[in-house]
């Protein structure tokens, strides 16, 4: 097994001294892409991003350049760019490290994207809980203003952009783009009815582009190195590089940047393998709302198409690795509790369905499941999936249906035996080895 | 002009629903298109008068072809999906997917619902209950723990919320925000704990709050007035017309064993759509007040009222009136709450039985100018006269609506809601008023700042300023609405008529009471006979005399209400016939009281014991609206007939009582029943001769300020708030608590001049009044606003006459 070369682009400067400062970023050519872009027309910038094949990194994988092209330039209202930095999905940890390590990459991307769609106001909506990131972004924006990268007449181009860092108030639903817009406008964050789509009537009923942090942060490299360079990376339909976040039972969890199409086996090798003495049991390709996969999918290329073909979604490439000590029932229950807690309440299937799912799963987790519970869970998921207002409800069903698909017997065990007896919690912990020596767990 | 243009083929699209092809206008929602082919898709959040939200997901349907040959991948909410040409929709009737989706949503809706239908007010008329039966499973598979909340909470003194019953469909919050413009209720919390809530210090004090109870598809919202009072299946429903204002809102009266239990909004797209004010909904307890007059009474020689039989009461009344007629004459004051038919009876009674034109319905400040205006521009116009009038639809279609002397939210709730709807679609509202009220702000009105008394001058300049103010010059698509209190502003009604004539804008007079417009048509005015016939016109008198079978009618125009009271007080009139007038409503309450005391013979037709019955020689109890048939004529001139809700043999309408007296007098009216009166009205028809010209008013001298010293002198602006001290609102404490508090509204200048007081004392020619202060940024300098009837006996009795200038001092009265 040869370990494939990593392609650090977004993460390239993360190991630099005080990488988050403007000085460090500019030392490596930061903000140079602005001059390249300002020499192009906005439409040429959009074309370059289209040609690169960049697809949205927030989970859905919609082509970014095409999204920018949807903005009706004949609309008299102002145009807005909103960066979705409300990273809250269990397992997903790419945007927050990126904004911590190199906030200027994002700021530069924002300027390029805003220039392309002809917006003079941009917003970064950051998850409210990560105060350290909010501060770092605010400082980066301040530095960029002082250095003339933001504000009036940027780099002498005549282009003006104001960038606001806005902290959310701690709701997962505000990662849904229209709920994010409502929240940004000061309203209660709940998804909006579409149409109208944000491209036509988004923030303050004006044309709005909403992009994920990683999508926007990828733009400077595309402008700097060209669309061809970008599209030479990755697979045929999934171009470029992405950050894979490995967490859970691997030796070295963390962010690994690689071209799309790398396999989990390769990534686990890069991360030093599954926890010593254990083997892979199941994993999520893109956070908890993507159907989980098992060790039979180790050699599947991690791009949009292949993961989709395997019945899951590439999502946010949040690879949560679970070894054989983990109860899939308990794990799914925790995820479902999260969705119940985060359901906004707008629509019936998600609001009521998650309430019910948690109760049934808790029963199975406690070994008090009843005959028919598994069928009931599947039917319930069928009544939620595709019936709810937004994708939150759909996401809540994915771990359950996929877990039953691959590990039905564990749910059946829940009719008689609590998961804590079959899978003692301690064995999954980082200190399990120490406990084993003392005769606890094993 | 405003009729719907013929639909062209391009406006229609063809969709197939459950195999049935139907043409519907484009942009129709699938759920409505399905109704066209007789398919009822279950729904909760959907309401045809509210914007789609797609929250409950109950109306899911399968769309195998979206009109482009491709299927939509998952079931679609039919309440948010517009039709497309060629679209194929399969509902629960033909699609297993749709049926399962609906059953699944229904099961989920019920897991946290208490299923307490046996003790729930909505049980029996509940969309959740009904649709759970029609589109749900027989039994729930949920075995877990339901979410619970402490029961119930008050959203306002009148509206209660049982949160565990709520399915958070957002109908109530959408109504409050979209229709009423009072977004005091909102979603709070999230997930299964999401609920409707209010801010801590801001209860749901909307004049239209009761509508949320009616549109709630579960039993979550209830009223203090009806909660636990009755079951729907014990009630009998009768259609009715609201008696509290001149809007003619359709209502549904739900009653049980001869007692009204509740009132709901009717559904009349041309008038009130599906909304009524809380006054229309909750103010009906006066019907069962303990002081209702049970039987006729006649004052004995001992000076005390004694029960009498109807024949005896008729005979005594006839005898007394005959004497009074001979001794100087009898005046007739009818008040504004009569049905059209009853008002007609008073009009005929005055002319035929009493031989006088001293009859006036205006139990409020009025003027000669107004009398002329009503004859020239109001009487015999609109549908009641077989002519086209200004309608609610015209308000909705207008480019500009000018409001003068009219505060629709307080004085005409249905107009307010329609104007709000219109303004959200682009109609510009101009409010000629001393300040921008919250109600005017809700219809996005632009203020034309006008001190009371200046309305005439402002209107005279409005034709030139309209384009600058409203964006377009006034024309025949536009409407000018004038309120009844314009009678107290000299020259204003004349100027309004001139403005309409000069610009082509259409003019409508909006009175406050349900019977006012009908009384104009019935001829309860000193200068008008029924059908808009001028008293002064000989051929008009011949018309009426022929219909009534009498040789001639009194020729000289009579006294108006104020003059009748003054004449009676001075002993010039010997008798009074009073039908439902509260002295405190009249121009000069003291004079009215003096008139009642001085008149040698007073006949009172009343519902409840009152100050008038205290003075009356004969007291004749009359039927309330629930006990009689009749009609109200709306401000549009639209006739709104209604039938009796109850059959109460001893409860006689005014017209039957007057007919009885008239027969004793030997001058029968020619009718005894409502139907006979209607026949006579129809036979008489409306006047098609020359309309009387409105007299040009003499310029009025500016009123003198109150002589007290200190403070500042301010012009009084006032009108009655929707909920105030009115006697028809008696008996519902919860409704009383939703009144807006009485305050004195000042502009910044006067407030500063008085040293920023917390309360002020107002000194008028009839008394003083101390009220808390509210500063209003938009208030015209030199004006103070006070509600007309919210404290004590009202301003006319306790503070000052119409058009007064008050001296205002800081702090409480010494």
Give B35 to chain A, closest Cα distance, Å. Answer: 22
Question: What is the assigned CATH class of domain B9-108?
Answer: alpha beta
Under the banding of pLDDT at 50, 70 and 90, the label for residue A243 is: very high
Which residues are within 8 A (CB) of B556 and not within 5 positions of it... i.e. 6 or more apart? B357, B535
Instruction: Tell how strand B744-746 and strand B783-785 pair up.
Output: antiparallel
State both tokens at A387: 């019936």
Q: Please, are residues B322 and B665 in contact by the beta-carbon 8 Å criterion?
A: yes
Instruction: Tell how strand B528-529 and strand B533-534 pair up.
Output: antiparallel
Is B54 in Cβ contact with A345 (below 8 Å)? no
Name the interface residues of B facing A (CB cutoff 8 Å): 52-58, 60, 73-75, 80, 100-101, 104-105, 107-109, 111-112, 141-142, 144-145, 147, 167-168, 186-187, 189-194
- Residues of chain A by 3-state class (helix, strand, coil), percent to 5: 45, 15, 40
Under the banding of pLDDT at 50, 70 and 90, the label for residue B1 is: very low
Q: What superfamily would CATH give domain A22-231?
A: NADH-ubiquinone oxidoreductase 51kDa subunit (3.40.50.11540)
Residues of A in contact with B55 (CB under 8 A): 346-348, 389
State yes or no: pLDDT of B642 exceeds 60. Answer: yes
State both tokens at B192: 């299964």
pLDDT at site B711? 86
| pLDDT one-digit tens code per residue, B305-314 | 999 999 999 9
Judged by DSSP in three states, A395 sits in helix
Under the banding of pLDDT at 50, 70 and 90, the label for residue B3 is: very low
DSSP strands (E only) in A62-131: 80-85, 121-126
State yes or no: pLDDT of B4 exceeds 60. Answer: no
> What number of H helices and E strands is found in chain B?
25, 35
Cα–Cα distances (Å) from A383 to B74, B113, B748, in that order, read 11, 18, 60
State yes or no: pLDDT of B505 exceeds 70. Answer: yes
The separation between the first and the last C-alpha atoms of chain A, rounded to the nearest angstrom, is: 31
Which residues are within 8 A (CB) of B472 and not within 5 positions of it... i.e. 6 or more apart? B399, B400, B428, B466
pLDDT at site A438? 56
**CB hemisphere CA count around B804 (13 angstroms):** 28
Instruction: Give the neighbor-by-neighbor strand order of the sheet with B479-483.
Output: B446-449, B428-433, B400-404, B479-483, B506-510
The CB density around residue B375, as the number of other CB atoms within 10 Å, is 26
Q: Please, are residues B336 and B364 in contact by the beta-carbon 8 Å criterion?
A: yes
Write down the residue that tokens 């979604």 correspond to: A313
Cα–Cα distances (Å) from B559 to A143, B372, B481, B553, in that order, read 84, 13, 27, 16
d(CA A377, CA A400): 8
State yes or no: pLDDT of B2 exceeds 50. Answer: no
Residues of A in contact with B42 (CB under 8 A): none
**In whole angstroms, how large is the CA radius of gyration of chain A?**
22
**The domain defined by B376-495 carries CATH number 3.40.228.10:** yes
Q: Which helix (H) or strand (E) holds A377?
A: helix A373-384
Q: Of the candidates B57, B145, B147, which has its C-beta nearest A348's C-beta?
A: B57
Torsion of CA A420, A426, A429, A432, to 10 degrees: -140
Which residues are within 8 A (CB) of A370 and not within 5 positions of it... i.e. 6 or more apart? A363, A415
| pLDDT one-digit tens code per residue, A384-437 | 999 999 999 999 999 999 999 999 999 999 999 999 999 999 999 988 877 665
* Domain spans, chain B: 9-108, 145-288, 299-364+517-684, 376-495, 712-810
Q: Of the candidates A342, A349, A389, which has its C-beta nearest B108's C-beta?
A: A349
| pLDDT one-digit tens code per residue, B263-290 | 999 999 999 999 999 999 999 999 999 9
d(CA A10, CA A324): 33
Is A188 in Cβ contact with B58 (below 8 Å)? no
d(CA B379, CA B294): 36
Length of chain A: 442
- Which residues does residue B17 pair with via DSSP β-bridges, in sequence order? B20, B89
Give A38 to chain B, closest Cα distance, Å. Answer: 41
The angle formed by the CA atoms of residues B459, B483 and B240, to the nearest 5 degrees, is 150
Average pLDDT, chain B: 95
| Residue B589 main-chain phi, psi, to 5 deg | -55, -35
**More confident site: A170 or A360:** A360
pLDDT at site A441? 41
Question: What is the assigned CATH class of domain B145-288?
Answer: alpha beta
Which residues are within 8 A (CB) of B304 and not within 5 positions of it... i.e. 6 or more apart? none
Mutate to test the interface with A, among B54, B192, B194 (most CBs of A within 10 A): B192
Residues of A in contact with B190 (CB under 8 A): 171, 173, 342-345
Is B192 in Cβ contact with A345 (below 8 Å)? yes
**The domain defined by A328-426 carries CATH number 1.20.1440.230:** yes
- Which residues does residue B748 pair with via DSSP β-bridges, in sequence order? none
Under the banding of pLDDT at 50, 70 and 90, the label for residue B10 is: low
Q: Which residue of A has its CA nearest to B61?
A: A387
pLDDT at site B9? 52
pLDDT at site A430? 85
The angle formed by the CA atoms of residues A67, A72 and A75, to the nearest 5 degrees, is 145
Average pLDDT, chain A: 94
Judged by DSSP in three states, A225 sits in helix
d(CA B532, CA A79): 61
pTM: 0.95
Q: Which helix (H) or strand (E) holds B770?
A: strand B767-775
User: Per-residue pLDDT averaged across B321-345, rounded?
Assistant: 96
Residues of B in contact with A351 (CB under 8 A): 168, 191-192, 194
Under the banding of pLDDT at 50, 70 and 90, the label for residue A442 is: very low
Under the banding of pLDDT at 50, 70 and 90, the label for residue B797 is: very high
Q: Please, are residues B801 and B765 in contact by the beta-carbon 8 Å criterion?
A: yes
| pLDDT one-digit tens code per residue, B527-550 | 999 999 999 999 999 999 999 999
Q: Of the candidates A173, A351, A379, which has its C-beta nearest B192's C-beta?
A: A351
Q: Please, are residues A348 and B42 in contact by the beta-carbon 8 Å criterion?
A: no
* Domain spans, chain A: 22-231, 241-323, 328-426
Percent of chain B at pLDDT above 90? Answer: 92
Q: Of the candidates B58, B80, B194, which has its C-beta nearest A351's C-beta?
A: B194
| pLDDT one-digit tens code per residue, B126-168 | 999 999 999 999 899 999 999 999 989 999 999 999 999 999 9
State both tokens at B66: 């979206």
Name the interface residues of A facing B (CB cutoff 8 Å): 171, 173, 188, 190, 193, 340-349, 351-356, 359-360, 376, 379-380, 382-384, 386-389
Torsion of CA B323, B327, B333, B338, to 10 degrees: 30
Q: Of the candidates B54, B108, B189, which has its C-beta nearest A389's C-beta?
A: B54
Q: Which of B241, B329, B411, B333 is nearest to B610 (CA)?
A: B333
**CATH label, B712-810, candidates 1.20.120.790, 2.40.40.20, 3.30.56.10, 3.10.129.10:** 2.40.40.20
State yes or no: pLDDT of A4 exceeds 90. Answer: no
**CATH label, B299-364+517-684, candidates 3.60.20.10, 3.30.70.20, 3.10.105.10, 3.40.50.740:** 3.40.50.740
Q: Please, are residues B349 and B699 in contact by the beta-carbon 8 Å criterion?
A: no
CATH topology of domain A241-323: Ubiquitin-like (UB roll) (3.10.20)
- Residues of chain B by 3-state class (helix, strand, coil), percent to 5: 35, 20, 45
Q: Please, are residues B575 and B324 in contact by the beta-carbon 8 Å criterion?
A: yes
- Which residues does residue B250 pair with via DSSP β-bridges, in sequence order? B241
Helix axes B96-111, B127-135, angle to 10 degrees: 140
d(CA A274, CA A326): 13
Length of chain B: 814
| pLDDT one-digit tens code per residue, B360-402 | 999 999 999 999 999 999 999 999 998 899 999 999 999 999 9
State yes or no: pLDDT of B8 exceeds 80. Answer: no
State both tokens at A361: 């799963």
d(CA A73, CA A75): 5
A182-190 own/partner pairs: CB under 8 Å, 24+ apart = A183/A125, A184/A82, A184/A123, A184/A125, A188/B186, A188/B187, A189/A344, A190/A344, A190/A345, A190/A346, A190/B187
pLDDT at site B696? 77
């Amino acid at each position: 097994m040869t370990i494939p070369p990593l392609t650090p682009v977004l993460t390239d400067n993360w190991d630099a001294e005080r990488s988050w400062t403007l000085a460090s970023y500019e030392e490596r050519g930061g903000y140079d892409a602005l001059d390249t872009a300002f020499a192009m027309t906005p439409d040429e910038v959009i074309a370059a991003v289209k040609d690169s094949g960049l697809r949205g990194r927030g989970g859905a994988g919609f082509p970014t350049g095409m999204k920018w092209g949807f903005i009706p330039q004949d609309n008299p209202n102002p145009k807005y760019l909103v960066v979705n930095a409300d990273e809250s999905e269990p397992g997903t940890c790419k945007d927050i490290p990126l904004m911590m390590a190199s906030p200027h990459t994002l700021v530069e991307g924002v300027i390029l994207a805003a220039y392309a769609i002809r917006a003079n106001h941009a917003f970064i909506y950051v998850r409210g809980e990560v105060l350290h990131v909010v501060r770092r972004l605010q400082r980066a924006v301040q530095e960029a203003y002082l250095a003339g990268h933001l504000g009036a007449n940027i780099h002498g181009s005549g282009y003006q952009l104001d960038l606001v860092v806005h902290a959310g108030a701690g709701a997962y639903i505000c990662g849904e783009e229209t709920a994010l817009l409502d929240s940004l406008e000061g309203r209660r964050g709940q998804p909006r009815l579409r149409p109208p789509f944000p491209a036509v009537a988004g923030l303050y009923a004006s044309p709005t582009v909403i992009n994920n942090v990683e999508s926007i942060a990828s733009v400077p490299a595309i402008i700097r190195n060209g669309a061809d360079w970008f599209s030479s990376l990755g697979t045929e339909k999934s171009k470029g590089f992405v950050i894979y976040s490995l967490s859970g039972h691997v030796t070295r969890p963390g962010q690994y940047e690689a071209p799309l199409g790398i396999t989990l086996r390769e990534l686990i090798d890069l991360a030093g393998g599954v926890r010593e003495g254990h083997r892979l049991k199941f994993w999520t390709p893109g956070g908890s709302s993507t159907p989980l996969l098992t060790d039979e999918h180790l050699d599947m290329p991690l791009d949009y198409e292949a993961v989709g073909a395997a019945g899951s979604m590439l999502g946010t490439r949040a690879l949560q690795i679970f070894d054989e000590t983990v109860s899939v029932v308990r794990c799914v229950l925790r995820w479902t509790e999260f969705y119940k807690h985060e359901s906004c309440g707008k629509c019936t299937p998600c609001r009521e369905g998650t309430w019910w799912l948690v109760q049934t799963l808790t029963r199975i987790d406690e070994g008090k499941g009843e005959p028919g519970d598994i069928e009931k869970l599947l039917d319930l998921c069928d009544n939620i999936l595709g019936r709810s207002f937004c994708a939150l409800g759909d996401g809540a069903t994915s771990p359950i249906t996929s877990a039953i698909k691959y590990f039905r017997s564990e749910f059946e065990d829940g009719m008689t035996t609590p998961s804590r007896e079959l899978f003692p919690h301690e064995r999954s912990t980082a200190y399990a080895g120490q406990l084993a020596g003392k005769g606890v767990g094993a | 002009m405003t009729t719907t243009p013929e639909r062209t083929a391009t406006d229609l699209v063809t969709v197939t629903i459950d195999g049935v092809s139907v043409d519907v206008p484009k942009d129709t929602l699938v759920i409505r298109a399905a109704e066209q082919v007789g398919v009822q898709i279950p729904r909760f959040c959907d309401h045809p008068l509210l914007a789609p939200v797609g929250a409950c997901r109950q109306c899911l349907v399968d769309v195998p072809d979206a009109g482009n040959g491709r299927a939509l991948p998952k079931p679609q909410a039919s309440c948010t999906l517009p039709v497309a040409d060629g679209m194929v929709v399969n509902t629960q009737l033909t699609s297993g997917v749709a049926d399962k989706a609906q059953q699944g949503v229904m099961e989920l809706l019920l897991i946290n619902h208490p299923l307490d239908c046996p003790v729930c007010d909505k049980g029996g008329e509940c969309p959740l209950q009904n649709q759970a039966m029609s589109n749900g499973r027989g039994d729930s598979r949920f075995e877990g723990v339901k979410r619970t909340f402490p029961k119930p909470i008050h959203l306002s003194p009148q509206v209660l919320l049982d949160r565990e019953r709520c399915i958070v469909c957002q109908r109530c919050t959408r109504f409050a925000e979209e229709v009423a413009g009072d977004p005091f209720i909102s979603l709070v919390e999230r997930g299964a704990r999401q609920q409707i809530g209010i801010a801590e210090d801001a209860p749901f004090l909307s004049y239209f709050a009761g509508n949320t109870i009616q549109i709630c598809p579960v039993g979550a919202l209830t009223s203090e007035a009806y909660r636990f009072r009755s079951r729907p299946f014990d009630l009998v429903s009768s259609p009715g017309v609201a008696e509290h204002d001149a809007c003619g809102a359709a209502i549904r009266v739900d009653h049980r064993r001869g007692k009204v239990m509740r009132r709901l909004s009717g559904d009349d797209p041309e008038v009130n759509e599906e909304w009524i004010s809380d006054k229309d909904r909750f103010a009906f307890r006066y019907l069962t007040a303990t002081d209702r007059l049970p039987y006729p009474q006649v004052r004995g020689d001992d000076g005390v009222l004694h029960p009498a039989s109807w024949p005896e009461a008729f005979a005594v009344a006839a005898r007394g009136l005959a004497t009074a007629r001979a001794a100087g004459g009898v005046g007739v004051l009818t008040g504004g709450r009569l049905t059209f038919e009853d008002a007609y009876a008073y009009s005929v009674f005055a002319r035929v039985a009493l031989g006088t034109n001293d009859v006036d319905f205006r139990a409020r400040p009025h003027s000669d100018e107004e009398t002329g205006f009503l004859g020239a521009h109001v009487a015999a116009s609109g549908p009641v006269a077989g002519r086209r009038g200004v309608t609610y639809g015209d308000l909705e279609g207008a480019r500009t609506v000018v409001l003068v002397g009219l505060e629709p939210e307080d004085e005409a709730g249905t107009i307010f809601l329609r104007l709000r709807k219109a303004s959200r679609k682009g109609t510009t509202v101009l409010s000629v008023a001393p300040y921008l009220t919250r109600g005017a702000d809700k219809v996005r009105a632009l203020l034309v700042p006008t001190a009371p008394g200046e309305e005439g001058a402002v209107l005279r300049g409005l034709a030139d300023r309209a384009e600058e103010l409203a964006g377009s010059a006034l024309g025949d698509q536009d409407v000018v609405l004038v309120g009844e209190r314009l009678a107290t502003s000299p020259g204003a009604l004349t100027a309004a008529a001139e403005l309409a004539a000069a610009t082509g804008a259409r003019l409508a007079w909006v009175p406050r009471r349900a019977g006012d417009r009908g009384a104009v048509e019935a001829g309860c005015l000193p200068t008008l006979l029924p059908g808009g016939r001028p008293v002064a016109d000989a051929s008009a008198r011949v018309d009426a005399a022929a219909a009534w079978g009498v040789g001639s009618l009194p020729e000289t125009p009579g006294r108006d209400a104020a003059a009748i009271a003054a004449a009676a007080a001075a002993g010039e009139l010997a008798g009074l016939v009073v039908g439902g007038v509260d002295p405190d409503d009249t121009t000069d309450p003291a004079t009215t009281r003096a008139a009642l005391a001085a008149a040698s013979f007073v006949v009172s037709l009343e519902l409840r014991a009152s100050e008038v019955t205290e003075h009356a020689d004969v007291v004749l109890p009359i039927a309330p609206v629930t006990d009689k048939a009749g009609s109200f004529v709306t401000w549009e001139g639209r006739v709104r007939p209604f039938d009796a809700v109850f059959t109460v043999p001893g409860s006689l309408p005014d017209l039957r009582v007057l007919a009885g007296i008239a027969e004793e007098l030997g001058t029968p009216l020619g009718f005894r029943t409502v139907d006979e009166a209607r026949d006579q009205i129809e036979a008489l028809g409306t006047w098609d001769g020359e309309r009387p010209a409105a007299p040009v008013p003499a310029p009025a001298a500016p009123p003198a300020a109150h002589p007290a010293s200190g403070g500042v002198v301010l012009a009084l602006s006032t009108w009655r708030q929707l909920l105030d001290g009115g006697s028809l609102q008696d008996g519902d404490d919860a409704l009383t608590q939703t009144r807006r508090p009485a305050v004195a509204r000042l502009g910044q200048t006067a407030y500063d001049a008085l040293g920023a007081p917390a309360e002020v004392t107002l000194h008028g020619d009839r008394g003083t009044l101390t009220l808390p202060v509210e500063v209003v940024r938009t208030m015209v300098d030199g004006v103070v606003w006070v509600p007309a009837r919210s404290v004590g006996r009202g301003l006319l009795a306790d503070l000052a006459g119409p058009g007064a200038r008050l001296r205002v001092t800081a702090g409480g009265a010494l």
